[in-house]
Amino acid sequence: MTTTQAPSCKGVIVTDDPVIATTALTKRFGVAVTALDQLTVAVEPGITGLVGANGAGKSTLIKILLGLLPATSGKASVLGCDTTSQPERIRALTGYMPEHDCLPPDVSATEFVTHMGRMSGIPPTAAKERAAESLRHVGLYEERYRQIGTYSTGMKQRVKLAQALVGDPRLLLLDEPTNGLDPAGRASMLELIARIGRIGGDFGISVVVASHLLGEVEQICDHLIAIDGGRLLRAASITSFTTASQVLAIEVDEGIEALAAELARRGLHPVPAERELLVPITSAATFDAVRDAVADLGLPLNRMEQRRHRVEELFRAPAEPAELGGALAADGRA
Amino acid sequence: MSTGAATGGGAAAGVIHDIGYQRYDGPRLGRWHIAAALCWHSLRSAFGIRRGAKAKIVPVITFVIMCAPAVINAVAMALSSSHARIVEYDTYTPTLRVIIMLVFIAAQAPELVARDLRSKVLPLYFAKPMRRLDYPAAKYAAFTLACLAMLDIPVLLLYLGTVFQVHGFSAVWAQTRAFIPGLLVGLMWAVVLAAIGLALASVSGRRAFSTGAVAIFLFMTWILGHVLVTIAAQQGPGGPGAPPGPTKGPVCSADLQVGHSAAAHLLGIISPFNVLDGVRQWLGGTNCGIVANPGQYGAAYGIALLAFLGAGLAGLFLRYARADVA
């Protein structure tokens, strides 16, 4: 029989054992495509954001970590288990929430999550209890008896998270968990993930959130890993590099030059971009200064919007203001 | 069952209540248990159990029709003076069995494999602690059992309906001796047809394509097999109306049709149903089925059977071994 209860590959979780460790991990598809290139990262307990543009290699990394894809070279381990020699052990300890839609429309959430609990190796009665528990944790109540096909996108995302939680994992791998959600749905999904991954919280589950939206993950993450073109851009704790990442976009109907001059006089560094001004936010006083400048000049203010720039720009060495502006303009809607 | 839900039931969806998380300390079952659970789940879905009423229509109707000859036999035996069994165990009702199994497999094989492809749920299965090919293995085991139930439960009913109307130990023993090969023929049908059915049903996640692939293959090969055999028999050395060769057991209408032509014997091999019936006769079945007794070509039927089984299983497993499934 293969009944086991050990919490990790080594029998006990060693605290200084990284949740995920990769060494020179490389994955090539054919000769032309290199999805991961000599990637060496270590993921600590807590919530880790895995950020990168679409196609940066996030999903490939997750599939290798789950033992679903073989690496071309290099090594990877999850919770102390090697991905090539103990993939089933890893998958027993890990909950996975894929990016795309993956739910059958014609069963109820309760039935589906119970079935996924059984597929995680939980006996029938316990799987039912765990399914009810998981669905409650993600905020689905009476509607869990309804067919999944009748659910909103937000509810479906919750079911996907519930099926990842049902096996009581030690690690959650969430691929773009806020995909397709409205702002309120995003906020509550992020809040939920933050609660699950809080160090010292009652879940005690480490979480890796793969996302192309840095602005979202940085709200909840303890650590960030940025990859681009399969290469590591930067890995660090969250506080070390996100403070200077925010800018304020101001759009006025007229007098854009006058406003730029006025803002510069007030000690800000406005960057003109197409039909707007971009001002790096240094503190709450930035907002006051912009408001006062616009009011003093009596300009018709169209829009004022807080933005971030693209991940790859952020992870470079501190950007020049001009570069920053260019990146922002190219980004369109951040 | 849901005390937490009761307290939060009135709240709007999306409100997260702070209920403490419970760790799971119970046993975690290994991949064999997981595969068995998937097999059981799939077996039930093959009959629409725990699914909507719509999902039950085809399996229930086909099953009832398949059982009807056994019931009719029991009634006929009770009413007739001779109390003789009118349905054979090993062939059952040959043409009805082919048609019903064709409908059942075309309708229900997609239920097992195409639904999961359609809803892209496979990555979730593959992220669970089982191996990639445990999935098609569990599905194959489940569908074999489903087909076996369709084939052998009616045979069992036939046996029960018969033995309660015969008298004496020797009569019951004679029935039992005829009954056991009947069960084995059902098993042979289930093993081969489940492999072919699932392999064809897994070509597409679209239900219509999936059902179409199964139905077209099984139906067209069966019809084409008959047409080819008929043409070959007319043109062959035996010709129509030629005296049948020395075959053991009764002379069947199919024997008369085929005569002695090798082509007529071998052309039927394109249909799995013909092959299954040919192998039954090759292995000693003497009752009339849907094809003529293959006689000296029995081994060819045996090889064809293995080829159908092998191709079906290879197709099914290769389908799920491919990375682009998930």
* Helices and strands: H and E segment counts in chain B: 12, 0
CA dihedral B244→B246→B249→B255, nearest 10 degrees, is -30
How many Å from the N-terminal Cα to the C-terminal Cα in chain B?
Answer: 35
Instruction: Please give the residue that has the higher pLDDT: either A256 or A2.
Output: A256
What six digits make up the tokens of A248?
């304020």
pLDDT at B243 over 60: no
The residue behind tokens 């009581």 is A168
pLDDT at A333 over 50: no
pLDDT value at position A317? 43
pLDDT one-digit tens code per residue, A233-291: 878 776 655 554 577 888 888 888 888 888 888 888 887 877 788 887 777 788 888 88
pLDDT value at position B302? 95
Lowest mean pLDDT, pick from A311-315, A327-331, B203-207, B231-235: A327-331
pLDDT at B316 over 50: yes
The residue behind tokens 């999904």 is A189
pLDDT value at position A252? 85
Interface probe, candidates A122, A129, A166, A196, chain B, greatest B C-beta count within 10 A: A122
> What's chain A's length in residues?
334
A258 touches chain B (CB under 8 A): no
**Ordered domains of chain A (ranges, CATH):** 20-239 (3.40.50.300), 243-331 (3.30.70.980)
Angstrom CA distances, B235 to A90, A251, B16, B69, B224, stand at: 65, 88, 78, 36, 17
B180 touches chain A (CB under 8 A): no
Instruction: Please give the residue that has the higher pLDDT: either A101 or A244.
Output: A101
Q: List phi, psi (to 5°) of B269.
A: -65, -15
Tell me how far apart the alpha carbons of residues B291 and B255 are, in angstroms, rounded to a whole number: 8
pLDDT at B89 over 70: yes
Indicate the DSSP class of residue A105. Answer: T
Residues 6+ apart with CB under 8 A from A307: A246, A247, A248, A249, A278, A328, A331, A334
Averaged pLDDT for residues A218-238: 85
Beta bridge partners of A75: A23
Do B276 and B194 form a contact (C-beta atoms < 8 A)? no
pLDDT one-digit tens code per residue, B271-280: 999 999 999 9
A229 touches chain B (CB under 8 A): no
121-140 of B, contacting A, C-beta below 8 A: 121, 123-132
Residue B293, classed as helix, strand or coil, is coil
Do A131 and A159 form a contact (C-beta atoms < 8 A)? no
pLDDT value at position B260? 65
User: Strand order in A33-43's β-sheet?
Assistant: A33-43, A20-29, A73-78, A81-82
Averaged pLDDT for residues B72-77: 94
Task: Report residue A201's pLDDT band, with 50, 70 and 90 as the boundaries.
Answer: confident
pLDDT at A332 over 50: no
Tell me how far apart the alpha carbons of residues B145 and B46 are, in angstroms, rounded to a whole number: 10
Find, in chain B, the residue whose alpha carbon is nearest to that of A164. B124
What six digits make up the tokens of B309?
């089984």
Give the torsion sign (CA, B49, B52, B53, B56). negative
What six digits make up the tokens of A197?
């991954």
Do B196 and B272 form a contact (C-beta atoms < 8 A)? yes
Tell me how far apart the alpha carbons of residues B223 and B292 are, in angstroms, rounded to a whole number: 15
Residues 6+ apart with CB under 8 A from B247: B255, B293, B295
Instruction: Please give the residue that has the higher pLDDT: either B143 or B326.
Output: B143
Do A44 and A57 form a contact (C-beta atoms < 8 A)? no
Tell me how far apart the alpha carbons of residues B137 and B38 are, in angstroms, rounded to a whole number: 10
Q: Which one, of B197, B133, B193, B41, lies nearest residue B325 by Cα?
A: B133
Do B91 and B98 form a contact (C-beta atoms < 8 A)? no
ipTM of predicted assembly, 2 dp: 0.85
Burial (CB < 10 A; 0-12, 13-18, 19+), residue A284, is exposed
Q: Do B323 and A69 touch (CB under 8 A)?
A: yes
Q: List phi, psi (to 5°) of A306.
A: -85, 130
pLDDT value at position A334? 36
Parallel, antiparallel or unpaired: strands A171-175 and A73-78? unpaired
Indicate the DSSP class of residue B17. Answer: P
Lowest mean pLDDT, pick from A42-46, A316-320, B39-43: A316-320
Alpha-carbon A92 to chain mean position:
22
pLDDT at A9 over 70: no
Count of alpha carbons within 13 angstroms of residue A12, beta-carbon side: 3
Indicate the DSSP class of residue B270. Answer: G
Tell me how far apart the alpha carbons of residues B55 and A91 are, in angstroms, rounded to a whole number: 32
Alpha-carbon B36 to chain mean position:
19
Averaged pLDDT for residues B103-119: 95
Q: Which one, of B133, B162, B186, lies nearest residue B321 by Cα?
A: B133
pLDDT at B55 over 60: yes
- Out of A102, A130, A133, closest to residue B121 by CB: A102
Count of alpha carbons within 13 angstroms of residue A318, beta-carbon side: 5
15-44 of B, contacting A, C-beta below 8 A: 15-34, 37-38, 41
pLDDT at A325 over 80: no
